[in-house]
Amino acid sequence: MHKPLLRRRHFNCSLLALACWGFVAPVAAAPAQRVLVVGDSLSAEYGLSRGTGWVALLQKKLAQEKPGVEVLNASISGETTSGGRSRMAALLQKHQPSHVVIELGGNDALRGLPLSMTQDNLLTMTRQAQAAGAQVLLLGMQMPPNYGPDMARQFEAVYAQVAKKQKASLVPFFLKGIGDDPEPLKWFQADRIHPNEDAQPRMLANVWPTLKKQLK
């Protein structure tokens, strides 16, 4: 009549003994550092084979140089700073990153959206991430030459102003050595907008030195 109860007690005692002696497998610990990338098609592997984009290359590099750091890619092709702003709070709550890389603004420029709106969105996202305890890295973009030098300078300054105001890290031009190459077409897909697979290591090389300084 009391045998099942005795068996359960025996099982619980045995389990406790195993735990004390270290024979029970520990629960896997969450990564000490988690990098959340919030970007557009430049980070979402648009037109590329899966696993060849710069974010995927970043994960491989971290596995070699800083094991235990996790990378989460929340990038969406076509995303604007407004879209990123609307998603940021939920992403921060869900993933609780230690670092946030914001790669947005290029689509704002292509759509001719107001610079003041782009700056306000970047500023808000940076503040949200910092308030959640994350370090922020902004990846700056540049406008195509056909927009004119004045507009190009103003757009470039948006990233510098946000970074300075919030004391966030900044990569001034994410596509350095690609978009400003004397022969840039060799680095782009047929649409002449999205970098090809050969350009991805260069993109990572532009990000890595600054991100590495942020990581412990």
Which positions are catalytic?
41, 191, 194
Alpha carbon 24 to chain centroid distance? 36
Please tell me whether residue 168 adopts helix, strand or coil conformation. Answer: coil
Closest to 203 in 3D by CA, of 4, 82, 96, 55: 55
Bridge partners (DSSP) listed for residue 37: 73, 101
Task: Write b or e for each residue in 61-74: b if 16 or more Cβ atoms lie within 10 A of its Cβ, otherwise e.
Answer: bbeeeeeebbbbbb
Total count of residues recorded for the chain: 216
Torsion sign (Cα): 11, 16, 19, 21: negative
A 10 A CB-CB count for 153 gives 11
Distance CA 114, CA 122 (A): 13
DSSP 113: -
